[in-house]
Structure 1
C-alpha cells in the first residue's frame, strides 16, 4: 500500500471525521489539530490490516478527540465568563438537507453536549448522529460493549430531557426574520425587536476576558431588546464598522468587522418563528477559523 492510498482514503472521509471531532470538541481549530495528528498515526498503519476504513479512522479520531476534550475541560475551569463553542462557517446549503446533521452542528446542541461527560459525549455523537454500532463505539472509547450501551442510553435520555424540539424554519422564513431583526436593531425600533423575540430570549456572550462583552447572560425579551438597541446605537458611532450575514452552524450569523479586523460573530437561533437565543463569540482565539467555510458530513 502506498502513502497516496492513505491520503486518498483519509481525504475522502475528512468531512465526516472533522464533523465527529468538532461535535466532540466544539472547536474547529482544535479539530484541525486532532485530524492532523490522527493522519500522522494513520499514515503508519498497514492498510492490509484495515477491514473497514470508516470505522478504523473514526476510532482513531475519537481517541484523539477524547484526549483533547479531557484536557480542555480542565482549562475551562479558569475560563472568564460563559464558554461557547467555536462558530463553524458552512456553505449555505451544506447541512440544511440533513435534519439530523443540521441539529447536531447547531450551537444549541453543542452547548447542550457540553453538559455531558467526555465519554457520554463521544458515545452520543457516534451513536445518535453517525449511527455507529455499539461494538465500533466500544473500540473507539475503550469501554466494554455493555458499558457503552448503558452510556448511550444515559446520554440520550440526558439530551432528550434538555433539548428543545428542533423545528428548523425554512430558508425564506429565516431570511425574512433575520432581515426584520437587522432593520429593527439598526433603527432602534424597540417594539419591532420585541415582536421578533421569544419571551425567554437570551443573549449569551463569550469573550474569555479578552474582549468587551457581557459577563453574564442577558435574559428575557425586554432586557435583550433594550441591550440590542444600546449595542447597535453604540456600534453606529464606531468608524469603519461593517457587518455581513453568513451561515454558521446552520443558522444566520452576523459577522462584525472594524476595518479588516473581525470583532465578533453573533449567531441567531430561530424556533417557531421567534428569535430564542443569541450566541455571541468575541474571544479572538475562537474567531481564527471563521473566514474559512467548512464541509460537514455524516
Structure 2
C-alpha cells in the first residue's frame, strides 16, 4: 500500500462515520467515500498542511450534494422513510462507543428534520468535535453562519426529540418481553407492553406490506400485532435480539428470510414508539451476514 492510500485508509473510519450520519444509508456513504478517494488520488498530498481537514471537507461537500438530491427523492418515498442500519463492523468499535447515541435510528430520524446545511454544520461541530471556525472552513461559509446553522439545528432537534430517554438495557428487556408475547400472543399481554399513545412507524419502501402512515394508539397496535402473530403461526418465524446502531433491535425471519428489524423507544415501563424496517433493499446487507437462527441451529 503506497503512502497516499495508507493515509486515506487511516482517516476512512471517520469519513465513513460522517457520511453515514449525513445520509442514513451505508451504500450512499460508501459512494461518497469512493468519490472522495478519486479526488484524493488526483491530489498532490505533499502540498497539504492538514490532510484530515482536506478529506473531511471533500467528504462533507460530496455528502451535502448527495443529501440535497436524496431529500427530494425521499419526498416521493412510499410511506415513511427509515434509515438503513449499519452492520457491526462497518464502523470501528471505538467510534461506535464514542458516538453510539448519534448512531441510533431515532437520532438519525431527528436529523431528517434539518436542512442539509444545518445537518452538516451540526454533525461537524456537535458530533465530530470541530470548532465553529474549522467547520465553517470545511463548509465554505463564515464562522457566524456556521454558528447560526448549528443553533437552528439544536432548536429543531430539541423540538422533535423523543419524549423519553432511557438506558438501552430497558429497551432490551421490553424487546425480550415483546418477543415472547409474539410467540404466545394475547391482547392482555400486549396491552401491558404498549403505552396508551404508542406509535408505529414502518418502512416497506413500497415493496412489502407496511403501514403507509404512522399508526397511533395501543388498541390499534394490539390488533395489528395480534394479526401478525397469527400469521406467524402459519409460517416459520424466528426472532433474535441484536445490537444495531447503538441500540438493541429485534430481528425477525419469516421462512428463512430476514423480514423485519425493529427498534423501540420506551417511557421506562412500556413501549412508547416502534420503528420497523421492512424494505428488502435496506435489509439486504444485514441479511447477507446475519443467518436465520433456526437455520443456523
Tell me the TM-score normalized by structure 2.
0.87
Q: Which residue of 2 aligns with 1:85?
A: 83
Output the CA distance in 1 between the equivalents of 2:288 and 2:28.
14
**How many matched pairs?**
287
Higher relative contact order (CA 8 A, sep 6+): 1
Q: Which has the higher helix share?
A: 2
Q: Which runs of 5+ in 2 are unaligned?
A: 290-297
Asked whether the equivalents of residues 164 and 265 of structure 2 are also in contact (C-alpha less than 8 Å), the reply is no
Return closer, same or farther for 1:265/1:258 CA change in 2, 3 Å cut-off.
Answer: same
Q: Deviations over 1:218-253 (max 9, x none)?
A: 112232222212212212212x43333211212222
2:203 maps to 1:194: no
Matches within 5 A, 1:267-286: 267-286=263-282
Q: Which residue of 2 aligns with 1:48?
A: 46
Larger deviation, residues 51-60 vs 83-92: 83-92
Look up the SS of the partner of 1:139 in the other structure: helix
Output the CA distance in 2 between the equivalents of 1:223 and 1:266.
18
Asked whether the equivalents of residues 204 and 216 of structure 1 are also in contact (C-alpha less than 8 Å), the reply is yes
CA RMSD of aligned residues (A): 2.4
2:29 maps to 1:34: no
Query: Which of 176, 180, 184 matches 1:179?
Result: 176
Deviant stretches of 4+, over 4 Å: 91-97
Asked whether the equivalents of residues 206 and 281 of structure 1 are also in contact (C-alpha less than 8 Å), the reply is yes
Output the CA distance in 2 between the equivalents of 1:185 and 1:198.
17
Look up the SS of the partner of 2:260 in the other structure: strand
Q: Which residue of 2 aligns with 1:261?
A: 257
2:223 maps to 1:230: no
Output the CA distance in 2 between the equivalents of 1:191 and 1:56.
58
Asked whether the equivalents of residues 171 and 264 of structure 2 are also in contact (C-alpha less than 8 Å), the reply is no
Asked whether the equivalents of residues 251 and 269 of structure 1 are also in contact (C-alpha less than 8 Å), the reply is no
Q: Which residue of 2 aligns with 1:142?
A: 140
Return closer, same or farther for 1:5/1:168 CA change in 2, 3 Å cut-off.
Answer: farther
Asked whether the equivalents of residues 169 and 270 of structure 1 are also in contact (C-alpha less than 8 Å), the reply is no
Q: Which residue of 2 aligns with 1:64?
A: 62
Larger deviation, residues 258-267 vs 221-230: 258-267
Output the CA distance in 2 between the equivalents of 1:48 and 1:95.
28
What's the CA shift for 1:264? 2.6
Look up the SS of the partner of 1:13 in the other structure: helix
Output the CA distance in 1 between the equivalents of 2:48 and 2:268.
46
Asked whether the equivalents of residues 202 and 276 of structure 2 are also in contact (C-alpha less than 8 Å), the reply is yes
Return closer, same or farther for 1:258/1:281 CA change in 2, 3 Å cut-off.
Answer: same
Larger deviation, residues 70-79 vs 109-118: 70-79
What's the CA shift for 1:43? 1.7
Q: Deviations over 1:48-107 (max 9, x none)?
A: 222223322111111110111011112122211111111223369767744xx1221111
2:268 maps to 1:290: no
Return closer, same or farther for 1:291/1:9 CA change in 2, 3 Å cut-off.
Answer: farther
Query: Which of 233, 239, 244 matches 2:240?
Result: 244
Look up the SS of the partner of 1:287 in the other structure: helix
Larger deviation, residues 151-160 vs 83-92: 83-92
Asked whether the equivalents of residues 258 and 287 of structure 2 are also in contact (C-alpha less than 8 Å), the reply is no
Output the CA distance in 2 between the equivalents of 1:221 and 1:174.
18
Look up the SS of the partner of 2:262 in the other structure: strand
Output the CA distance in 2 between the equivalents of 1:170 and 1:285.
27
